[in-house]
Structure 1
Amino acid sequence: MAHAIRFAETGGPEVMRWEPIEVGEPGPGQVRIRHEAVGLNFADTYFRTGLYPAALPAGLGVEGAGVIEAVGPGVDFAAGDRVTYTGSPLGAYSTERIMPAEHLIALPAGIAFDTAAATTMRGLTTAYLLRRIHPLRAGDTVLLHAAAGGVGQLFTQWAKLLGVSVIGTVSSEEKATVARANGCEHVVVYTREDVATRVREITDGVGVPVVYDSIGKTTYQSSIDSLARRGLLVCFGTASGPVPPIEPMQLAVKGSLFVTRPALADYIADPAERAELAGELHDHLTAGRLRVEINQRYELADAVQAHRDLEAGRSVGASVFAI
């Protein structure tokens, strides 16, 4: 029988339950997918805690990779196709599920299922951050928080391919080593160095044109203070909590700054754009230009421990659930 992680109330990791489920047959526009691997992302904790609302009871997880077992009417995929996906509806933490075919992305044979589960969300996030948010040019220098994380490792590698230098922040020397190994040119250990001061030193007092901040509450001020005149703060995550309201006059005083809070869903909503970004990601992966290290693997039934590790900062780089 198929199983899934579900939760009936918001709260800590302990609210998650490993339960048997009935999957059924796909309807029009749907497929039944058998997962081979499932992604573990910090955003999953936002749904579990209620920061992102979900109708309860609910499944969990938005990223998976596997094989289509059955298709409903009006679907372009076929049974046996390898696919990956990221996005709603919730429910990726499962051995099997019914999935709208419109959200699926064909997975090339050269990309392993666990690699896909570790990179579809992170890779597409990296793709839109580097290729859609700001017109970066070779020679630019940007600031990236959490440079040793799953997005951080892909981001620094991809940025290097574009000729963009990355100043990355990390919490420890261990993570600094990881960031450097992935192409981070300058690493700031924020637990013992002031980020904005180091950024000004590295950039000869100018600051950076773009800061990519997935941490939020504890880093947004140092992000603002690191920007060059007319720079852009990209708040794409809130690992430490939501960003407090930013007074517009502060943006003027700091150099006529800009702030955006993008969401991946709005950059892959258009099928053609999603295909373009996924194609670029998959090309880099199959050619070996992007390396993916999966440092944590869990059984789906161990999702409680996986979330505890994630929220405690014990995870380095990508994590997946093996099915």
Structure 2
Amino acid sequence: MRIHNSSYRNLLQLIQDSPMRIPAEQFTSIKALGAPAIVLALAAQGTFRGFKDTKTPLYAIVAGNLLNVILDLILILFSGLGVGGAAIATVISEYLIAFILLWKLNEEVVLVTPNVDGAKVARYLKSGGLLMSRSLAILITMTISTSVVAREGPVAMAGHQICLEVWLALSLLTDALALAGQAILASSYSQKNYGQARRVIYRCLQIGLTAGVSLSFILFFGFGQLSWLFSTDSEVLKIARSGTLFVAASQPMNAIAFVLDGLYYGVSDFKYASYSMVTIGVVTSASFLLVVPEFGLPGVWTGLFLFMTMRVAAGIWRLGTKKGPWKLVYSETDQES
């Protein structure tokens, strides 16, 4: 079922009549209980990355996700709680991750201190606010894309969700490059070793592109053989396989986009990272609402590819302008000279 622009006035009725509405509301309401744990875990992960300690977050996340899988089997299959069981399992695993990270972080720093530096707190809140607006732009854009797909019906939604999860999972593999690049670049930048900083930037981009192309080939030739792991419904799998080309083709662009994110953070270019993402999010969201509904799922996948492409274009342009914090990185004078 395709909803044209003239039919958006019936959106509320469509949502109310959708068989996915009640399960979605149930999952969202339960999942919201894990929000405090997610915020604490993300803050702790950032602190560990500042220490260049990537092992502790890895162990915590592996432990949390392992518990999530075990609880999914128990609550969904054996207890029959369905979507609600999946949400409960996710929330419990999120709190486990947060607990492990805070427990280990307490061994490194004083988590509660009576001495508060107002200036540092203000800088933190400013940077945090910029990154929150950036994250909100991504969240809104992805939510709008999902809402457009949901109007295509439950079968189309299921097939799209398989493609989206595979797309995100593979893209996040390259996020490891972004985290490593962020830590190394921040170290070189703070020490005014700008020659080393430039080498880090170029090498991260090269490795990211190589990883993205490699993932494209692996996914293109392997997704069809492994698609049965996600569903036994032939119609759902047909839709999922039709998105293979999009998922595979987008991997190089996704990899570069994630690497560029890490580079932004490495030199604290939060302002540009935020403003550019908000602009890109507005453009992409408009395309989802005005153009994509005419083309169904292919339009959604094209919109997501446009979203990542604009992120890469904005990042490359920023590096090319050599403005802001990048002015120092590309200066001719640094400690190496």
* TM-score bucket of the superposed structures, by smaller chain: under 0.3
TM-score by length of 1: 0.24
Quick check: which one's helix share is greater? 2
Structure with bigger RCO (C-alpha 8 Å, 6+ apart) = 2
Greater Rg, structure 1 or structure 2? Answer: 2
Quick check: which one's strand share is greater? 1
TM-score by length of 2: 0.23
